[in-house]
């Protein structure tokens, strides 16, 4: 028995001795590793000075005219907030859950540090947790962990401890909390409490409720697992745990905690990604402009502004209400037209398999390029891309999951009708609404800036040039079918098919008579009209042919709306403005825009004559459905436009306040209605304009504008006091218009022809 006791005692001493030696070795290695980290052997450690100059990437924010956030440009979606704008209960929830002794330590919580050293560092238990202070978590957010094999855990933990202490020296406690909450990730590429607050609750942090603060703090443990949108039950359970921690640490009482824990999660989720939110096409156009501006306008130190990281505040002229109305008007009309279009075509499509357009688009896709890089031939690639797979496609009833090949999806998307709407304030040029298409995620082409044939919306430009050239608005022009031999025997045709008689300028514009427009262009001069068009802001080449009178020139919606600004501004062109100013993240104005108005290109009197003529288009001409169907009774002027075979439908209408243009058509000219007048400007584009303006007038803020007048003097109206159309020579004579021999010959020739016809 005594011998046994001696053996046990001997081995006990040995074990203790070896354990002490082992512990000494471990502590020595740990200390050595700590000092190696401290000395920068495993990488540079931020100094106190570097920490004091931390610059988080900040999103640049785009605001509407009324300071509504339209969207952001970012690499990391983050907006910094100051400590004074953080609610107390948010800070309490954070401290109670993540670092209860935050105000007592210097970056290392000694009580928790030993647990970290033994569990996390020595035993490599990565789930041990509970030891990182907010300082250390902040370091981890600022300087991502490195992978160093078996040394990863100890090196990263020591690194965070050392820099955490330096953070304590660089900032006071409130500043550390501010920096932490501006840096931490909430998943979904969302960084910082302000961005998260706006994303999940559509409010600023200062307006968060206690339970909302608890939910956001709870997400920090695992942003995907506790995402309230994706995992509401887990998020609620985690939120309640945070609330319980607040109770445990005397930030809440029992009854309040019980009440808050019983509440359901109520989100007001708003994701302002590039393709979501208001005005996505406008934001993309603005982005390109800002990149160009940044290249040419460096900071004082010569560094270039970065719109993705510098936290700029970008203030635009877009009106959030009007933008919403415009997008809704486009959506309603285009969904309706697409339904009619698909019924007309049935299983047959205007753009189908084998169409050169499809192959063209296919060759630009990433799928095609990837297969090409693998060495496949063109035929092999096309065959591969004809294999069906599961995908989501856009429909007007929402996203739809289908089994479709890449090839077939291109055919599917090619057969959509599209639209653009551009609306600007008449006297300032401030752009109030910009709708570039039907869905920016699936259709990138911006139909505000893209160019299409203008159709009859180009006619007011010709009429204005004719007035400027001295044409009498009440002189009559013959509505004859003329063959223009010098232009390949071209004969302009009227959409109504009727010829004969005489039209005044007002009558010809009201009823969009092609023969008269061509005659005016011929008399005014093609070069004169093209030069005048360029003065109005229409860029690019226009065809030097008489068919220009029918709108065969390619122009953009933006250009046409700008051109129409002469009618509201005494003959002056007002340049569209959509960017008001840019501020840096400190609130300094680094760019400011001004209204741009040209010298008169026609005189005020001629502008009033044109406005009065275009009022007639609405009152009794091609746009009269605004009165008869949509019930507008206020002053409106405008012009419809339709290109050959109803390929493009246009309407540009203006009131004393707004000029708004709408275009409707297919990206591919083959995409058009098979029959009926659905593609005409009055049927396709005008309804969008009408719905947009109806919503504006319903809004009490803008209802007043319905009562405004163009204020055209009576003497100007008197100059247009002539018949739109004269059928006989006597009518023309009574109007004191001097007859000419050509007219008399035609008159008797037509009368004799009618007599012969009757005798037969």
We report the CATH number of the domain holding residue 165 as 1.10.3810.10
At a CB cut-off of 8 Å and minimum separation 6, what does 479 contact?
Answer: 494, 498, 499, 500, 501, 502, 503, 508, 513, 515, 516, 725
Under 8 Å between Cβ of 446 and 437: yes
Q: Are residues 228 and 327 in the same domain?
A: no
The token pair at 55 is 């610059």
**Cross-strand bridge partners of residue 555:** 452
Q: Are residues 228 and 333 in the same domain?
A: no
The token pair at 279 is 């005005």
Domain assignment present for residue 733? The answer is yes
- In this predicted structure, what is the pLDDT of residue 158? 84
Under 8 Å between Cβ of 475 and 504: yes
Q: Are residues 492 and 391 in the same domain?
A: no
Q: Are residues 380 and 335 in the same domain?
A: yes
At a CB cut-off of 8 Å and minimum separation 6, what does 93 contact?
Answer: 210, 213, 214, 217, 242, 243, 245, 246, 251
Q: Distance between CA atoms of 37 and 156, rounded to whole angstroms? A: 9
Q: Domain span at residue 751?
A: 729-759
| SS3 call for 112 | helix
| SS3 call for 466 | helix
Task: Please give the helix or strand (H or E) that residue 582 lies within, else none.
Answer: strand 579-583
Q: Which of 394, 414, 434 is the last residue of a domain?
A: 414
- In this predicted structure, what is the pLDDT of residue 271? 79
Under 8 Å between Cβ of 727 and 500: yes
The token pair at 638 is 């405008």
Q: Are residues 622 and 483 in the same domain?
A: yes
C-alpha distances (whole Å) from 738 to each of 151, 499, 524, 732, 733 are 103, 21, 20, 8, 7
Dihedral Cα 13, 19, 23, 24, nearest 10 deg: 40
Q: Is 394 exposed, middle or buried (0-12, 13-18, 19+ CB in 10 A)?
A: middle
Domain assignment present for residue 429? The answer is yes
End-to-end Cα separation, the chain, in angstroms: 149
Q: Distance between CA atoms of 491 and 196, rounded to whole angstroms? A: 64
Domain assignment present for residue 207? The answer is yes
Q: Are residues 324 and 255 in the same domain?
A: no
Q: Which of 273, 306, 330 is the last residue of a domain?
A: 273
| SS3 call for 223 | coil
| SS3 call for 656 | coil
Domain assignment present for residue 41? The answer is no
SS3 track for 21-60? HHHHHHHHHHHHHHHHHHCCCCCCCCCHHHHHCCCCCECE
Domain assignment present for residue 2? The answer is no
Q: Are residues 617 and 688 in the same domain?
A: yes
CATH (domain of 444): 3.40.710.10
Under 8 Å between Cβ of 448 and 560: no
Q: Are residues 220 and 304 in the same domain?
A: no
**Cross-strand bridge partners of residue 393:** 400
Under 8 Å between Cβ of 311 and 585: yes
Q: Are residues 359 and 504 in the same domain?
A: no
* Regions of the chain where pLDDT drops below 70: 1-4, 6-11, 13-14, 16-20, 22-23, 26, 113-131, 272, 728-760
Domain assignment present for residue 469? The answer is yes
Q: Are residues 227 and 320 in the same domain?
A: no
Helices and strands (DSSP H and E) totals, the chain? 29, 19
Q: Distance between CA atoms of 384 and 121, rounded to whole angstroms? A: 52
Q: Which of 220, 211, 205, 208 is nearest to 243 (CA)?
A: 211
The token pair at 447 is 């139909």
Sign, CA torsion 186/190/196/202? negative
Q: Are residues 613 and 489 in the same domain?
A: yes
Q: What is the DSSP letter of 601?
A: S
Q: Distance between CA atoms of 528 and 644, rounded to whole angstroms? A: 25
Q: Which of 274, 285, 638 is nearest to 431 (CA)?
A: 285
Q: Distance between CA atoms of 6 and 578, rounded to whole angstroms? A: 94
Q: Are residues 568 and 550 in the same domain?
A: yes
Q: How many domains does the chain have?
A: 4
Domain assignment present for residue 354? The answer is yes
- In this predicted structure, what is the pLDDT of residue 6? 66
| Sole residue written with tokens 């559509």 | 202
Q: What is the DSSP letter of 730?
A: H
Taking residue 248's Cβ as centre, other Cβ atoms within 10 Å add up to: 12
């Amino acid at each position: 028995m005594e011998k046994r006791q001696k053996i046990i005692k001997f081995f006990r001493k040995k074990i203790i001795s070896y354990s002490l030696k082992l512990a000494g070795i471990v502590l020595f290695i740990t200390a050595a590793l700590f000092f190696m980290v401290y000395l920068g052997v495993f990488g540079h450690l931020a100094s106190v000075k570097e920490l004091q100059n931390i610059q988080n990437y900040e999103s640049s924010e785009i605001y509407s005219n009324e300071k509504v956030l339209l969207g952001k440009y970012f690499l990391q979606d983050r907006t910094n907030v100051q400590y004074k704008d953080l609610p107390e209960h948010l800070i309490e929830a954070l401290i109670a859950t993540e670092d209860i002794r935050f105000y007592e330590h210097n970056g290392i919580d000694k009580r928790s540090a030993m647990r970290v050293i033994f569990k996390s560092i020595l035993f490599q238990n990565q789930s041990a947790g509970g030891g990182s202070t907010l300082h250390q978590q902040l370091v981890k957010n600022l300087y991502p962990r490195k992978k160093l094999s078996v040394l990863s855990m100890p090196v990263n933990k020591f690194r965070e401890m050392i820099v955490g202490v330096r953070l304590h020296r660089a900032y006071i406690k409130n500043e550390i909390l501010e920096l932490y909450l501006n840096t931490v990730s909430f998943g979904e590429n969302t960084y910082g409490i302000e961005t998260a607050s706006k994303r999940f609750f559509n409010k600023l942090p200062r307006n968060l409720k206690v339970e909302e603060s608890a939910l956001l703090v709870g997400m920090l443990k695992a942003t995907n697992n506790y995402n309230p949108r994706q995992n509401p039950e887990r998020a609620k359970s985690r939120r309640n745990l945070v609330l319980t921690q607040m109770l445990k640490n005397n930030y809440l009482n029992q009854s309040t905690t019980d009440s808050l824990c019983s509440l359901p999660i109520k989100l007001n989720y708003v994701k302002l990604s590039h393709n979501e939110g208001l005005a996505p096409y406008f934001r993309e156009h603005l982005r390109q402009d800002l990149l160009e501006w940044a290249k040419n306008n460096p900071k004082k130190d010569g560094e270039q502004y970065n719109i993705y990281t510098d936290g700029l505040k970008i203030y635009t002229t877009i009106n959030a209400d009007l933008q919403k109305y415009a997008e809704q008007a486009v959506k309603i009309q285009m969904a309706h037209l697409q339904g009619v279009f698909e019924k007309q075509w049935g299983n047959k499509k205007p753009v189908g398999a084998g169409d050169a357009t499809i192959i063209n688009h296919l060759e630009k896709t990433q799928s095609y390029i990837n297969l090409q890089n693998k060495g496949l031939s063109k035929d092999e690639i096309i065959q591969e891309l004809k294999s069906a797979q599961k995908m989501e496609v856009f429909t007007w009833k929402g996203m739809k999951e289908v089994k479709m090949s890449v090839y077939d999806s291109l055919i599917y998307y090619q057969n959509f009708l599209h639209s653009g709407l551009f609306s600007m304030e008449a006297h300032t040029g401030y752009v109030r609404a910009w709708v570039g298409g039907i869905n920016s995620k699936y259709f990138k082409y911006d139909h505000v800036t893209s160019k299409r044939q203008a159709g009859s919306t180009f006619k007011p430009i010709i009429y204005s040039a004719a007035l400027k050239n001295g044409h009498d608005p009440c002189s009559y022009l013959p509505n004859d079918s003329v063959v223009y031999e010098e232009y390949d025997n071209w004969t302009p045709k009227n959409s109504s098919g009727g010829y004969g008689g005489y039209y005044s300028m007002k009558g010809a514009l009201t009823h969009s008579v092609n023969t008269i427009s061509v005659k005016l262009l011929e008399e005014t001069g093609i070069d004169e009209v093209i030069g005048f068009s360029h003065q109005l802001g229409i860029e690019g080449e226009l065809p030097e042919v008489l068919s220009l009178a029918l709108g065969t020139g390619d122009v953009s919606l933006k250009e046409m709306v700008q051109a129409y600004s002469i009618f509201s501004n005494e003959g002056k062109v007002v340049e569209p403005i959509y960017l008001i100013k840019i501020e840096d993240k400190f609130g300094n104005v680094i760019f400011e825009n001004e209204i741009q108005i040209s010298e008169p290109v026609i005189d005020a009197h001629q502008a009033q004559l044109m406005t009065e003529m275009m009022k007639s288009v609405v009152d009794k001409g091609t746009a009269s459905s605004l009165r008869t169907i949509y019930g507008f009774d206020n002053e409106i002027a405008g012009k419809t436009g339709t290109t050959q075979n109803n390929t493009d439908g246009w309407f540009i209408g203006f009131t004393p306040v707004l000029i708004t243009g709408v275009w409707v058509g297919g990206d591919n000219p083959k995409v058009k209605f098979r029959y009926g007048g659905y593609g005409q400007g009055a049927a396709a584009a005008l309804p969008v304009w009408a719905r947009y303006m109806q919503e504006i007038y319903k809004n009490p803020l803008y209802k007043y504008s319905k009562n405004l007048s163009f204020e055209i003097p009576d003497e100007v109206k008197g100059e247009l006091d002539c018949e739109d159309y004269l059928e006989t020579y006597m009518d023309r004579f009574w109007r004191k218009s001097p007859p000419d021999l050509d007219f008399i010959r035609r008159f008797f020739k037509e009368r004799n022809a009618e007599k012969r016809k009757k005798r037969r």
